[in-house]
Chain A
Amino acid sequence: MRTFIAALLITSCFCSVAQRVPNESENIDYLVTFGQDAPPNTGDDDHVQIIFFVVPSSYKLPVYLRIFDPDMSNKHDEFVGPSNTFTKFSVYGGKGAFSSNEAREVTLASNYKTGNLLASRIFGNEAEFDSEWYAMGPFNPLEGEEIASFNGYILKVVVEGLKGNDGNHYRFFLSEEAGRNKTIEGANAFAYNYTFKLHKAQTLAHIYPFIEKSVVSVTQHNFDFDNDGEILIYTVAKNRVKAAGSGDNGWASSVHPIEESEKNLTMDIQIQKISSLENTMTVYITNQYNEAVPFFALPIGGPPKYKYNLKVTTK
């Protein structure tokens, strides 16, 4: 099954910048991680963000993880009072970084820092990184965990909010160079749990989970949506199917059966925001076994389009 994903990954990523997280196709500006002292109604349920990057086996050059605005400064971050928050960015590779079950948990009750630590850095209020890219690395792709089904090596990025109550807004780019965003051919990124900032007003964000063949139904979970709009599901067989949206500081979930025609394709979960207030929310998706379903920075096989079922009758 994952060979199929790998094949789709490669074909999908050649034509687009898949290493940017959040991706332009998701129409999400920043990922968000709040400090440990921030209350849950900020939208960050666990103060941790985990992103996986896939580097194809054929790629033999150093890679850099570039982080945009990693510090807690004025322009892009969310402050509750004076800046007091530290954020730790860590990169893991090696055995267990992805393959360990704990690494793919969405509740983070267990040890999610599996694998070998390759690099880490803590950022506080450091103006020199305000609206700047900071590069971690270089990393040897071989130091990632080799996953044959992905035909590549996986690097895990863990973002932890340390002390403080502010929200750090940031972006990632897995780059071939330290000084600029240079794409790595065939690379992609995915996550099992996303905490992100929605656009200010009337915008549409997308989450692109990939529905494997074994999936019978998916459950979408969202936190602290503030009932600020609608969450809609689009697939080849679902057109504007409404999913449950959460209120302030609360979870909501809805189960959606999967038809045969929807398998091995990407689902598009659209988050339509109405108000002009900034909002941070958390989303994850599980299958019928309560296993987390990955969603990719770039929709594998492209965004789904609903296929109308036309019945032609002859007199």
Chain B
Amino acid sequence: MRPRFAILFIVCFGFNLSHELIAQAKKYSFQQLTEEHGLSQNFAYGLTQDDRGFLWVGTGAGLSRYDGYEIKKFTTKDSLSADFITADFRTASGNLLFGHIQGGLTLFDGIAFRSILPDTLGSKVVGITEDSQNNFWVATQSKGFVFIDKTFDSVSTVFPDPLQRQIINATFSRHGILWVGTSEGMFCFRISGKALTLIEAELLPPYTAVNSLLPHDTDTTLCFVGTAFQGIYLLKHDKAQDRIDIEHHIELPEISRDIIQTMAQDPEGDLWVGTRQSGVMHLNIGRDQKSVFKIDHFKKQTGFPFTSANKLIIDRQGQVWISTMGDGLIKIQKEFFTYFPFAGDYGVGEVRAIAETASGYLVATDKGLLQISLNDQTDEYEFDLVTTLKDESILSVYTDSRKNVWVGTETKGVYLLAPNSHYLKPLPIDPENHPLEVRLFEEDKQGNIWVSAKAHGLYVLDKEQKVMRHLTTANRFIHNDIFAIKADTHGNIWFGTYGAGLARLNKDGSLQLFSKQEELRARDINDIDEDHEGNIWIATEGEGIFKYANKKFTQVGSDENLVSPFIKGIQFDPTGRIWFSYRKGLGYFDLQSEKKYHFTREDGLLANEAYSSSIMVDSKFNKWFCNDYGVTLFEHDTIAEGGRRPLQTYLTGIRIFFKDHPAALRSDERSGGSLVGALPPLELSHSENHITFDFVAIKLNRRGKIYYRHLLDGYDSDWTPPKQVNFVTYTNLDPGKYVLKVQATDDLGAWVDPITEYSFEITPPYWKRTWFYLPQILSVVTLFSLTYLIGKRGIARKRFVLRLMLFSSFFITLEYVENFIDPLVSGFFGGAPVFRFFLNFLLALLLLPVETLITHWLLDDERKLKAAALSKTIDEPEAILEEGKIESAKELPN
């Protein structure tokens, strides 16, 4: 989509502006989610964002939850009071309330749904609000209010007389006052417990239907009132006099035949207005909070796929979400980039540099200087050609700390625009008046200006703009053509060249040649910048980015994380991001989080060609990139101030054998009363060892993919490879304690976001519990003792009893041994059945010799006794016979 232009007005600016100012329209794009994407229904009524960032969409056929990538549906099967959702509300404690078509109400406490009111009242819920006592007021269309106390235990109907026979359309509560918009006007009640006392009823002209109410974001005394056919009223609550008056009326003739159904205020204080039939309007509200300077209209006729808005919200990233009547869910977002093309109007073919000035920005192009200024009223950028130096090829522009603007031309040397002056004056700096091709400017710590002129080396100018030094190869300077200069905070000056690489002029006057001394392998330097820790970063042609810290160069950039090794420009912003430009796009690298991001045409980058030193971060932290035919602006507010929000991963469910586990939805364990649920720890039986965990990281604001990795402590030895799948299944888990760790990232090179942990335990079966081992051991000991007694003491007279006992003991022992060895053998041999067979065979082979040995040992005493008896019989047979020790020779052992 090409930006629109409009000729605004003629300006005769003191210093040489031409006659036309051109305004740059802000660009917006949209995203649509419908039934095809998984939305419950295209008729979306409710819309809210919960504390975790999920977007909840109430439709005519159930509830949908969107995490930026997937939509999950909820219906009465999940304990909603009804499927048709007409209103929603996020409570102060973070719970969600959903109103239904026949007066029902459902609570979501972060974990589970609970029906608070059955859907039987016979009038639809049109609004829900929470008073200062944290009690809830549920507005129904024709049956007044339902009062619900904060514990949800007490419910009563409140239907004040002034609202009888009225159609209630909207409500909200603030400072003990209940504001009610009806089909016949605006009513304000003072809340006292469950009682409502009317304090204002005739605020608006007679029969003005009020369809939407919006408390002002910053001024708590103000309230926007959206009407049918009458535009918007701004009401003010005078607390001192306890009265409410009309502060302002925004008429909006564009929608005079339409109903204002919903409103929202964005972080800039602008108003977004959703209508029944005319789409959505963005009202650019002035600093007086009343005047509307500009209106952007989003509807089918302007390329947006919807007509009717039911609810508008601004999410935490400042994006506008709209639930629509029949067109699903729409996201409107301001594009990351605003592109200012200069080719069409000014014939510009190359933009070389941009500098911030007192009145805006000056852009150096091959067709002269262009000025960009921000219109404070319309909040739009306007640009124009500076007539001085028109058609002169400008190579550089630079603003020093004294607000002097330095302009380097291709043929006319240096021009200077002094502060508070409107005239660019030529500044001859070459003593021999050579026509200088001025490539660069840089100011050092002392306030001197370093000027790079092609083939003429460097000129150093003092504060009086007099030439102090002239550095060329003639006086042993590194090169006569310097492409990058950086004066660091230590007082050194860094120089980048093509061919001769990097050099540093130390504050003691010595010159250090890093490339020549092979400390830095790159020889073509495009840009140099310093981070807030004093490290020097070097953008090279073909070698990526180098960082100079602790007297060592480290290559930071590579093909993998910089896309291209040909880095044209680098620039740090105050949040610690290094921005870099290359021929295929733009990117940043966050030093703190080590996250990087590349912007391409898919992100709305219209031009991605970039030149050396082509990035500038202005005083508002906006980033400007110089391209072939224009400049690209990346506005600061498109990435949240203070860095990106951490990508938090949430566990959303647990499934056992792919069926939802009821414990995962248990709501009895709540964190600190905030009810924003974390899944309770889980104890599973040994048979429930097939577990699937569902998780999600919510990212509504950016394109790109989210990757997950996980690690199960007690099972996995390392993190899994990153995947986009947001669930993991573990099968055949042994009894034990486990901790699942899940982490998400939107940058595969940096796993820096919070790790979500969840502990669970699989309890062992009873036969693996300690108490069960005792009888086992006792049984074995008993068996062994019995065997010993039978063998040693000769309790059983029959040999087979002894052998049976021995075999049993050996078998049980071997079974235990086999159970112990088998996993080791299986693990070693890979579980092939043949090895198990050999193991059993080996154990079986042991059985007979071991039995024989033990039998022998057990019967050894007896045998010895009998042998002794036999020998005694031979020597003294009478004595033996007398002692009666041998009954018969047959009983002698074999």
Contact = CB atoms under 8 A, between A and B. Distances in A.
B274 to A, nearest CB: 13
Contacts of A140: 43, 60, 325-326
Interface in A81-136: 94-96, 116-117, 120-122, 128, 134-135
Contacts of A122: 207
B160 interface: no
A94 B60 contact: no
B308 A138 contact: yes
A216 interface: no
Interface string A133-152: 01101111011000000000
A94 B326 contact: no
B257 A178 contact: no
A154 to B, nearest CB: 15
A7 to B, nearest CB: 26
B276 A137 contact: yes
Interface in B69-109: 84, 101-102
Contact of B42 (A60, A121, A178): A60
A116 B142 CA distance: 8
Contact of A62 (B141, B207, B325): B325
A138 B326 contact: yes
B696 interface: no
Interface in B354-385: none
Chain B interface category by residue count: 20 to 34
A61 interface: yes
Contacts of A138: 276-277, 307-308, 325-326
A116 B308 contact: no
A139 B326 CA distance: 9
Contacts of A60: 42
B61 A142 contact: yes
A59 to B, nearest CB: 11
B124 interface: yes
A276 to B, nearest CB: 37
A72 to B, nearest CB: 15
Chain A interface category by residue count: 20 to 34
B704 interface: no
A95 B120 CA distance: 10
Interface in B32-90: 41-43, 60-61, 84
Contacts of A120: 167, 183
Contacts of B42: 60
B99 to A, nearest CB: 13
B122 interface: yes
A117 B257 contact: no
B122 A95 contact: yes
A61 B324 CA distance: 12
B123 interface: yes
Contact of B257 (A94, A128, A137): A128
B277 A61 contact: no
A121 B207 CA distance: 10
B86 to A, nearest CB: 9
Contacts of B308: 62, 137-138
B60 A117 contact: no
Interface in B165-215: 167, 183, 207
Nearest to B325: A138
Interface string B234-268: 00000000000000000000000100000000000
B146 interface: no
B482 interface: no
Interface in A221-256: none
B124 A94 contact: yes
Nearest to A129: B257
A94 B101 contact: yes
A178 B84 CA distance: 24
B60 A142 contact: yes
B101 A178 contact: no
Contacts of B500: none
B225 interface: no
Contacts of A116: 101, 123-124, 141-142
A95 B102 contact: yes
B262 to A, nearest CB: 14
Nearest to B61: A142
B43 A117 contact: no
Contacts of A137: 276-277, 308
Contacts of A117: 141-142, 167
Nearest to B102: A95
Contacts of B167: 117, 120
A142 to B, nearest CB: 5
Nearest to B277: A178
Given A142-B60, A143-B60, A121 B228 contact: yes
A68 to B, nearest CB: 15
A178 B325 CA distance: 13
B682 to A, nearest CB: 39
Nearest to A86: B207
Contacts of B84: 142
Nearest to A140: B43
A237 to B, nearest CB: 45
Contact of A142 (B43, B141, B277): B43
A160 to B, nearest CB: 14
B505 to A, nearest CB: 71
Interface in B133-167: 141-142, 167
Interface in B273-313: 276-277, 307-308
B43 A62 contact: yes
Nearest to B41: A142
Given A116-B124, A120-B183, A135 B277 contact: yes
A96 B124 CA distance: 13
Nearest to B229: A121
Contacts of A121: 228
Contacts of B257: 128, 134
A142 B124 CA distance: 14
Which of A94, A134, A139 has the largest count of B CB atoms less than 10 A from its CB?
A94
Interface string B114-128: 000000001110000
B486 to A, nearest CB: 60
Interface in B13-46: 41-43
A120 B184 CA distance: 11
A32 to B, nearest CB: 24
A143 to B, nearest CB: 7
Contacts of A95: 102, 122
Contacts of B123: 116
Nearest to A93: B101
Interface string B535-547: 0000000000000
B231 to A, nearest CB: 16
A139 B277 CA distance: 11
B307 A178 contact: yes
A286 B257 CA distance: 40
A60 B328 CA distance: 12
Nearest to A124: B207
A62 B123 CA distance: 21
A259 to B, nearest CB: 43
Contacts of A61: 326
A94 B101 CA distance: 8
A58 to B, nearest CB: 14
B467 to A, nearest CB: 71
Which of B41, B102, B124 has the largest count of A CB atoms less than 10 A from its CB?
B124
9 contacts: A62-B43, A62-B307, A94-B124, A120-B167, A120-B183, A138-B276, A138-B326, A140-B326, A143-B101
Given A94-B102, A120-B167, A138-B326, 20 more contacts: A60-B42, A61-B326, A62-B43, A62-B326, A95-B102, A116-B123, A116-B124, A117-B141, A117-B142, A134-B257, A135-B277, A137-B308, A138-B276, A138-B307, A138-B325, A140-B43, A140-B325, A140-B326, A142-B43, A142-B61
Closest 9 CB pairs of A and B: A62-B326, A140-B43, A138-B325, A142-B60, A138-B308, A178-B277, A62-B325, A140-B60, A61-B326
Interface of A: 60-62, 94-96, 116-117, 120-122, 128, 134-135, 137-140, 142-143, 178
